[in-house]
Amino acid sequence: MKGYNFAYLDEQTKRMLRRTLLKAVAIPGHQIPFGAREMPLPYGWGTGGIQVTAAVLGRADTLKVIDQGADDTTNAVSIRRFFARTAGVATTTRTASATIIQTRHRIPETTLTEAQIIVYQVPQPEPLYQLEPSRTETRRMHALADYGAMHVRLYEQVARYGQIAISYDYPVMVNGRHLMAPSPIPAFDNPKMHRMRALQLFGAGREKRIYAVPPYTAVVSLDFEDHPFRASRAAHVCALCGDRASYLDEVVTDDRGGRMFICSDTDHCASRRESAP
């Protein structure tokens, strides 16, 4: 685009971002502060993810952007267009054809490969913020791996509800060392992070933090031995493709309690319908 560098950010800023990313990959799950730039999209709408994508994007890349699992949600469209306009890269809705996938709130159903990078948009990178608002204190807790308080939170839930009642942004332990917020993906997606073949990068623009999970790294959801982590989904079948295992959206069809359930991952759903006899 005239008057702007490839992928919007200037090369110096990209180098700063890449240095941050290298550091993040070297210490899996550890939040690295970085000089987040003002972006032409609002904070909370994916500025962190966009900066990370801009830093790793090359001319030969193919980009896929999803929000809520769908390529066609307005924010996904807006971000995909942003890169089509500022970088002129190829874009796709096919998970398998993408080299970089930027996502908000989902991990695709299709298993990712070593040749892919998934970039998560993160609103709140600090998994401990509800227990301890002071960043000075949470930094110390991470340094000392002092995570007893997080387990106390889970204990309280089991004591009260008979089960762990966190549905999304379910805290995980990365590489047995750092407690990490997986971003607000449903807990259903957590197991996909464990030993994922693709590189996982996380960008939080407003909070100015980047973190990463390198390929094949252990990502374990916190739980108790006698109350193990459960990846739950609506107990229904996709009304469009008939999938019984994918994560489902509930769509209201009328004002008399009518409901239908369909795949949240639009590419997954479309592919299944195409290949169906």
Partner 1 sequence: MAYVAVKGGERAIDAAHAWLAAARRGDGAIVELQTAQIREQLGRAVDRVMAEGSLYDPELAALAIKQSQGDLIEAGFLLRAFRTTLPRLAATLPLDTATMRLTRRISAIFKDLPGGQVLGPTYDYTHRLLDFALLENAPVAPAPQAEAIAGPTPRVADILGHEGLLEADARSEDEPFDLTRAPLAFPAGRDARLQGLARGDEGFLLGLGYSTQRGYGNNHPFVGELRAGEVDVEIVPAELGFAVCIGTVTLTECQMVNQFAGSKTEPAQFTRGYGLAFGHADRRAMAMALVDRALRAEELGEARTAPAQDPQFVLSTCDNVEATGFVEHLKLPHYVDFQSELETIRRLRATAERTQAASLPEAAP
Partner 2 sequence: MLSARGLGFRFGSITALEAVDVDLWPGEVLAVVGESGSGKTTLLHVLAGRLRPDAGQVWYREPDGPRTEVHAMPLPLLRRLHRSDWGFVEQDPRQALRMDVSAGGNVGERLMAAGARHYGRIRAEAARWLAEVEIDVARIDDRPTTFSGGMLQRLQIARTLVTEPRLVFMDEPTGGLDVSVQARLLDLIRTLVRRLGIAVVLVTHDLAVARLLAARIVVMQRGRVVEDGLTDQVLDDPRHPYTQLLVSSVLAT
Residue in 29, 46, 48, 203 annotated catalytic: 29
42 binds, among partner 2, partner 1, none (CB under 5 to 8 A by kind): partner 1
Near partner 2 in 226-245, by CB under 8 A: 226-227
From the list partner 2, partner 1, none, partner contacted by residue 33 (C-beta under 5 to 8 A by kind): partner 1
The answer to whether residue 22 forms part of the interface with partner 2 (CB under 8 A) is no
Closer CB to partner 1, residue 88 or residue 133? 133
From residue 164, how far is each of 34, 42, 178 by CA, in Å?
34, 34, 21
* Identity of the residue, 170 or 217, whose beta carbon is nearer to partner 1 in the bound complex: 170
- Among this protein's residues, is 263 annotated catalytic? yes
DSSP 138-192: HHHHHHTT--HHHHHHHHHHHHHHSS----BS--EEETTTEEE---S-BGGGHHH
Provide the 8-state DSSP code for 255: S
- Residue 160 within binding range of partner 2, rule CB under 8 A: yes
148 is catalytic: no
Piece of the chain touching partner 2 by CB under 8 A; list 47-55, 145-153, 171-179, 229-237: 145-153
**Residue 69 known to be catalytic:** no
**Cβ 39 to partner 1 shortest distance, Å:** 6
Rule CB under 8 A: say whether 165 interacts with partner 2: no
Residue 165 Cβ vs partner 2, minimum distance, rounded to whole Å? 14
Place of tokens 């009260």: 160
Residue 158 within binding range of partner 2, rule CB under 8 A: yes
Q: CA 112 → CA 36, 62, 107, 147, 192, distances in Å? A: 28, 14, 9, 30, 9
Q: Which of 159, 245, 252, 276 binds partner 2 (CB under 8 A)?
A: 159
Using the CB atoms, write b or e for 100-120: b if 16+ within 10 Å: bbbbbbbbbbbebeeebbbbb
Q: Which of residues 115-144 bind partner 2 (CB under 8 A)?
A: 143-144
Closer to partner 2 by Cβ: residue 132 or 249 = 132
Element (H, E) at 118: strand 117-121
Chain centroid to CA 125: 11
Residue 276 binds partner 2 (CB under 8 A):
no
Residue number with CB closer to partner 1 (56 or 65): 65
Torsion from C-alpha of 267, 269, 274, 277, nearest 10 degrees: 160
Phi, psi values for residue 16, rounded to 5°? -60, -45
Nearer to partner 2 by Cβ, of 230 and 244: the residue is 230
Nearer CB in complex with partner 1: 21/217: 21
Q: Is 242 a catalytic residue?
A: no
Q: Are 273 and 263 in contact (CB under 8 A)?
A: no
Amino acid 58 reads: G
Q: SS3 of 22, please?
A: helix
Q: How far is the CB of 242 from partner 1 (least distance, A)?
A: 15
Residues 6+ apart with CB under 8 A from 265: 66, 69, 70, 95, 106, 108, 109, 110, 246, 247
Q: What residues make contact with partner 2 under the rule CB under 8 A?
A: 143-149, 151-152, 155-156, 158-160, 223-227
Q: Any idea which residues carry the catalytic annotation?
A: 29, 238, 241, 263, 269
